[in-house]
C-alpha cells in the first residue's frame, strides 16, 4: 500500500511539474524578411515591429554583399574587404527600438563557393533559381567569427548580437546546392559541416552566443524550379539518425547548435498536417520536436544549454489584397494567427518570427502576408490588418465539456492581471480574472457566464432622426435611395432627374440602414449600373457599399475618358478610393462583406475621405472642375461594381465632419467596443483584457470554423 501511494504521489508530482513547466514556457514573437529594414523608413519599420508585440527581429546578413572579395584576414572584421556599414545601421536601429537581433548569415560570395566537377553538379533546376554551390565550410566559419566579433559588444558604437543563425532553408536548391549527387542526398552532410564550423567560430567569440540551425523549408519538392529534401529527412541526416519509431545512429558525427529552427508553412489551418511523410507544417511540429529531443538524448547535438525549438519564418497570405480564392479570408486569418501561436507554444516552440511586416506590392510581387496593408510606397500610409492585434495579443478559447479552455499572451510579454470576458448577443460579461506569468502567458479552464449579461459594451450610436431625414436636412442636390423594388426608375428624393436601372440590377436586397425598411440594389459586376444623367463636379459624394470584390470597384463616377471629375469606390486591396484628377486612398478595410459608409468631400483644394463616420484620409491638390454623364456602379475606366450599394447622395457643398458623423450615426449601424475590425458575428465570443490599461485581444469565437485548403505561402495573385 505504501509503495502504491508513493508511486501515485510521484506520478502526481511529475504531472504537476510537467503542467507547471508547460504553463511557464514563453512564446516570444519576432518579424522576419522585411526590406523596409534597410530603407529610409527603417526606423519606422522597427518601431512598428515593436508595436506588434515583437521583442526580436530576424536580420539577413548577406555574406556576398559584405565580402565581395576574399579578405586577407578573414576572421578580422576590420579587414578592408569587408563592408559592414549597411548592416551596422540595421543592428543599431533594431536595438534602439527595443528589439533583439537574430542575425541569419546567408548567400556565399562566388569566391567562397565550390566548382562543379565530375558527378558533383548543380541540381537540374532553372539557372535563375540556383543557390550557393557548396560554400566553403571553413570560409563560412571564418566569416561568422568576423561578424560575431564585430557585434560582440566590444566594438565602439555597435550593440551586442547574441543570436546567430547558420543559413536559410539549406534543404532547398535555391539556397544550397547540390541537394543530391545522383540519387544520394548531398546537402545534409555538407550543411552539418558548415554548421559545425559556424558554431565553433561563433562560440569562440563569446561562449554564451546562441547558434540556430535548420530554418528548413516545410515540403519535399521536385520540379523544374526547385528541388527540396523533406525537412524530417534532412534533419535525420544532419543528426545522423535513421527513420522509424526507434531511430538509430547512422554515423558518428554530431551537430553543434543551441536552437533548432523551422518554417512550418501550412496549406490549411493551424492544426493541418503536411501531405508528405517527411514534410512538416504546423500540425506536424510535435513530430519534429520528438526527433529533436531524440537527437539530444542520443548525444547527436552538442550544446552547453537546453536545446531550444524556434520558428524563424511563417505566415499566410490574406484576401484582400491577394484575390486568389485560396488566400486566407482576412477575418479567418486573424483567428488562425492567434491559434497558430497557441499551437506552436503547445508544441514546445518558444519563438515565432512572422514573415513580413507589410504586404508586398500587388500584383507584381509575391507575398501579401504582412501584418500591415500596403497603402503605397511609404510605410506611413499603411494600415494594420486584424492579424496585427492577433499577433500582438494572441488569445484563444475552446469549448470543453465543463466550460472553456482559454490561453493567451499579453501584448507586453510581461506579468499582468487579465480579465476574460464573454459576449453573447450585445453585451460583455466577466468570466474570470487570471494572472499572466513573467512571460505574459496565461491559461485556465473556466465556466462560461450565464447567458444574460450584466453590462453593455460601449457602442458608437445615435439616432435622433431617420437616416433619410438627416441626409435631406443637409440639402443634397440629388439623393437616390435605391430602395425601389421593381421597374427601371431609380427614384430621386430631390427635385432633379431620377436615375435609370440598366443591365439586370437586382432590386429589393437588404439595405444598410438598421431602423429603416428601405431596401438596396445589388450589382453583378458585369453590366449592371444606374445612369443618373449629367452631374457637375460635386463637392461631396456619399454612399453605402457592401462588397468583397478584389478589384477596383466604382460606387459613383462622373469621370470622362481622360480621367477628369469624380470617382468614389473601393480598391482590390480592401480600402476606399477617391479619384478627382488625382487618386487618394483610405486606410480602413471596407471590402469585408459588411455595409460601410463612404464619403468624399472637396473644398478649397482639400480632399477628404471618410469611412464609417470618421476621417480616413486627406490630400491637397487643385482639381479640374466640370462634369459629365454620371453612373452608380460604373466608371469608364474601371468598369462595373460588384456588390450592393445603398443611399447615394451628391452635394454642391462639402459636408463637414460633424455632418458626416451625424449621417453615419443615423443609420443605426453600431461598432462594438473592442471589435474595431467587426469580426464578431453570431454566437458566443470571448476576449482577454488587461486590467491595467484596458487593452483587449480580438474577440475569439467559440464556434470553430471548418478547416479549408489555402495557399501555404504567397504568389496567389
Note the pLDDT tens digit of each residue in 11-34.
Answer: 334 333 333 345 578 999 999 987
List per-block mean pLDDT (blocks of 10 residues) for the chain, which spans 717 residues: 38 37 79 90 95 97 98 98 98 97 98 95 93 98 99 97 99 98 97 99 98 98 97 98 92 98 98 97 98 97 98 95 89 96 98 96 89 88 90 97 95 96 80 96 91 44 69 96 96 92 97 91 97 95 93 94 93 88 85 92 95 92 91 97 98 97 90 66 90 92 94 71
Rounded Cα gap, residues 309 and 260, in angstroms: 5
The candidate with the shortest Cα–Cα distance to 282, out of 339, 366, 212, 199, is 339
Residue at grid coordinates 566559419: 141
pLDDT for 20 equals 38
Contacts 24+ apart (CB under 8 A), 377-381: 378/41, 379/36, 379/41, 379/44, 379/45, 379/48, 380/41, 380/44, 381/585, 381/587
Which residues, in sequence order, are CB contacts of 192 under 8 Å at separation 6+? 238, 253, 255
DSSP 3: H
Q: How many CB atoms lie within 10 A of CB 597?
A: 24
39 upstream amide cis, omega within 30 of 0: no
Collapsing DSSP states into helix, strand and coil, what is residue 38? Answer: helix
Residue at grid coordinates 440594389: 521
Q: How many CB atoms lie within 10 A of CB 14?
A: 10
Which residues, in sequence order, are CB contacts of 443 under 8 Å at separation 6+? 23, 405, 406, 407, 408, 434
pLDDT for 675 equals 65
**DSSP secondary structure string for all residues of 191-233:** HHHHHHHHHHHHHHH-TT-EEEEEEE-SS-EESSS-EE--HHH
Rounded Cα gap, residues 256 and 560, in angstroms: 67
The candidate with the shortest Cα–Cα distance to 403, out of 433, 448, 450, is 448
Rounded Cα gap, residues 100 and 54, in angstroms: 9
Strand partners of residue 631: 531, 557
Residue at grid coordinates 509575391: 366
Axis-axis angle for helices 187-205, 231-238 (nearest 10)? 60
- Element housing 180 (H / E): strand 180-181
CB 568 within 8 A of CB 541: yes
pTM of the predicted model as reported, rounded to 2 decimal places: 0.81
**Which triple of cell numbers denotes residue 251?**
554515423
Rounded Cα gap, residues 661 and 243, in angstroms: 65
Axis-axis angle for helices 42-51, 85-96 (nearest 10)? 40
Axis-axis angle for helices 187-205, 137-150 (nearest 10)? 30
With vertex at residue 314, the alpha carbon angle to CA 312 and CA 319, rounded to the nearest 5 degrees, is 155
Q: How many CB atoms lie within 10 A of CB 258?
A: 23
Strand partners of residue 522: 506, 644
What secondary structure, in 3-state letters, does 285-303 show? HHHHHHHHHHHHHCCCEEC
CB 26 within 8 A of CB 55: no
Residue at grid coordinates 552566443: 209
Strand partners of residue 596: 545
Rounded Cα gap, residues 363 and 715, in angstroms: 9
Rounded Cα gap, residues 691 and 713, in angstroms: 37
What secondary structure, in 3-state letters, does 518-532 show? CCEEEEECCCCEEEE
Collapsing DSSP states into helix, strand and coil, what is residue 372? Answer: strand
- Which CA distances in Å does 422 have to 142, 371, 431, 548, 698? 56, 26, 6, 29, 12
**Which triple of cell numbers denotes residue 51?**
508595436
Collapsing DSSP states into helix, strand and coil, what is residue 305? Answer: coil
Residue at grid coordinates 543592428: 91
pLDDT for 714 equals 72
**Which triple of cell numbers denotes residue 348?**
514546445
For the segment 130-182, what is each residue's pLDDT rounded down to a tens digit? Answer: 999 999 999 999 999 999 999 999 999 999 999 999 999 999 999 999 999 99
Q: 652: buried, middle or exposed (CB in 10 Å: 19+, 13-18, 0-12)? A: middle
CB 310 within 8 A of CB 264: no
**Which triple of cell numbers denotes residue 273?**
498536417
First to last CA, the chain: 68
Rounded Cα gap, residues 292 and 683, in angstroms: 41
Amino acid at each position: 500500500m505504501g509503495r502504491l501511494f508513493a508511486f501515485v504521489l510521484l506520478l502526481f508530482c511529475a504531472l504537476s511539474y510537467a503542467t507547471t513547466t508547460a504553463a511557464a514556457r514563453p512564446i516570444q514573437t519576432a518579424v522576419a524578411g522585411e526590406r523596409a529594414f534597410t530603407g529610409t523608413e527603417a526606423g519606422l519599420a522597427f518601431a512598428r515591429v515593436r508595436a506588434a508585440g515583437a521583442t526580436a527581429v530576424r536580420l539577413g546578413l548577406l555574406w556576398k554583399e559584405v565580402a565581395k572579395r576574399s579578405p586577407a584576414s578573414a576572421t578580422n572584421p576590420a579587414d578592408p574587404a569587408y563592408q559592414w556599414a549597411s548592416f551596422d545601421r540595421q543592428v543599431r536601429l533594431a536595438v534602439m527600438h527595443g528589439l533583439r537581433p537574430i542575425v541569419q548569415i546567408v548567400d556565399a560570395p562566388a569566391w567562397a563557393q565550390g566548382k562543379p566537377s565530375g558527378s558533383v553538379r548543380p541540381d537540374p533546376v532553372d539557372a535563375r533559381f540556383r543557390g550557393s554551390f557548396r560554400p566553403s565550410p571553413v570560409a563560412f566559419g571564418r566569416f561568422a567569427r568576423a561578424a560575431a566579433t564585430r557585434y560582440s559588444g566590444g566594438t565602439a558604437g555597435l550593440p551586442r548580437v547574441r543570436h546567430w543563425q547558420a543559413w536559410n532553408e539549406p534543404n532547398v536548391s535555391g539556397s544550397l546546392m547540390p541537394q543530391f549527387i545522383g540519387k544520394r542526398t548531398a546537402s545534409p552532410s555538407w550543411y552539418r559541416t558548415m554548421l559545425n564550423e559556424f558554431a565553433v567560430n561563433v562560440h569562440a567569440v563569446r561562449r554564451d552566443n546562441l547558434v540556430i540551425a535548420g530554418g528548413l523549408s516545410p515540403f519535399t519538392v521536385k520540379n523544374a524550379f526547385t528541388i527540396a529534401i523533406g525537412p524530417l529527412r534532412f534533419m535525420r541526416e544532419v543528426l545522423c539518425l535513421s527513420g522509424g519509431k526507434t531511430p538509430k545512429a547512422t554515423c558518428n558525427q554530431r551537430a553543434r547548435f543551441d536552437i533548432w529552427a523551422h518554417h512550418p508553412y501550412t496549406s490549411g489551418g493551424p492544426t493541418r498536417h503536411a501531405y508528405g511523410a517527411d514534410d512538416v507544417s504546423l500540425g506536424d511540429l510535435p513530430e519534429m520536436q520528438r526527433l529533436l529531443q531524440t537527437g539530444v538524448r542520443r548525444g547527436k547535438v552538442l550544446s552547453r544549454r537546453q536545446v531550444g525549438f524556434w520558428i524563424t519564418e511563417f505566415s499566410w497570405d490574406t484576401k484582400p489584397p491577394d484575390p486568389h480564392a485560396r488566400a486566407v479570408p482576412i477575418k479567418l486569418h486573424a483567428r488562425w494567427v492567434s491559434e497558430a501561436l497557441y499551437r506552436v507554444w503547445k508544441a514546445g516552440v518558444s519563438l515565432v518570427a512572422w514573415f513580413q511586416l507589410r504586404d508586398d506590392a500587388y500584383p507584381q510581387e509575391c507575398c501579401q502576408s504582412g501584418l500591415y496593408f500596403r497603402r503605397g510606397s511609404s510605410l506611413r500610409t499603411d494600415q494594420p490588418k486584424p492579424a496585427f492585434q492577433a499577433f500582438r495579443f494572441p488569445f484563444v478559447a475552446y469549448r470543453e465539456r465543463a466550460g472553456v479552455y482559454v490561453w493567451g499572451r499579453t501584448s507586453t510579454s510581461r506579468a499582468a492581471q487579465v480579465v476574460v470576458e464573454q459576449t453573447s448577443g450585445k453585451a460583455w460579461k466577466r468570466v474570470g480574472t487570471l494572472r499572466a506569468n513573467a512571460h505574459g502567458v496565461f491559461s485556465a479552464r473556466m465556466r462560461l457566464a450565464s447567458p444574460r449579461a450584466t453590462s453593455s459594451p460601449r457602442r458608437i450610436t445615435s439616432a435622433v432622426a431617420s437616416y433619410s431625414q438627416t441626409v435631406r436636412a443637409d440639402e443634397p442636390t440629388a439623393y437616390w435611395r435605391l430602395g425601389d423594388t421593381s421597374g427601371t426608375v431609380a427614384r430621386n428624393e430631390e427635385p432633379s432627374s431620377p436615375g435609370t436601372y440598366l443591365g439586370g440590377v437586382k432590386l429589393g436586397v437588404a439595405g444598410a440602414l438598421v431602423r429603416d425598411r428601405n431596401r438596396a440594389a445589388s450589382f453583378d459586376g458585369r453590366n449592371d449600373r444606374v445612369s443618373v444623367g449629367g452631374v457637375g463636379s460635386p463637392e461631396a459624394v456619399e454612399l453605402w457599399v457592401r462588397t468583397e470584390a478584389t478589384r477596383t470597384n466604382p460606387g459613383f463616377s462622373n469621370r470622362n475618358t481622360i480621367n477628369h471629375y469624380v470617382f468614389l469606390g473601393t480598391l482590390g486591396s480592401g480600402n476606399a478610393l477617391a479619384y478627382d484628377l488625382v487618386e487618394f486612398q483610405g486606410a480602413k478595410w471596407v471590402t469585408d462583406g459588411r455595409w460601410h459608409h463612404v464619403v468624399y468631400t472637396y473644398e478649397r483644394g482639400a480632399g477628404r475621405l471618410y469611412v464609417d463616420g470618421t476621417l480616413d484620409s486627406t490630400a491637397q491638390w487643385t482639381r479640374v472642375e466640370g462634369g459629365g454623364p454620371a453612373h452608380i456602379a460604373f466608371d469608364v475606366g474601371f468598369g462595373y461594381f460588384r456588390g450592393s450599394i445603398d443611399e447615394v447622395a451628391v452635394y454642391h457643398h462639402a459636408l463637414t465632419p460633424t455632418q458626416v458623423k451625424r449621417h453615419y450615426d443615423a443609420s443605426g449601424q453600431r461598432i462594438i467596443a473592442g471589435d474595431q475590425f467587426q469580426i464578431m458575428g453570431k454566437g458566443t465570443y470571448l476576449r482577454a483584457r488587461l486590467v491595467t490599461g484596458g487593452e483587449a485581444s480580438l474577440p475569439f469565437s467559440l464556434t470553430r470554423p471548418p478547416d479549408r485548403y489555402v495557399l501555404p505561402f504567397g504568389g496567389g495573385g
